[in-house]
Structure 1
Amino acid sequence: MIIVGTFKPSIEIEHATSEIEQYGIPPEEMMVFYMNEYPPISNRKKIPIDIHVSSFEIGMAFATGFAVIGASIGFKLIIGPIFSGLLAAIIGFTFGYSIYYFFHRKKESPLPKSLPDIIIIIQSPKEIAPTIKQILWKHEAKSVGMRKRYD
Structure 2
Amino acid sequence: MQLFSTFENNSFLELAISILKKKGINEENIYAVPLDNRKDERQIFDTIHRSDGTSLIDIGMVLATAFSVISTSIGFKLAWGPIYWGLIGAFTGFIIGLAIRVFTEKVLKKKNRLLKGKQSEVILIIDCEETQAELVENILWSHYALGVRKVK
- TM range, normalised to the smaller chain? 0.3 to 0.5
Question: TM-score normalized by structure 2?
Answer: 0.47
Question: TM-score normalized by structure 1?
Answer: 0.47
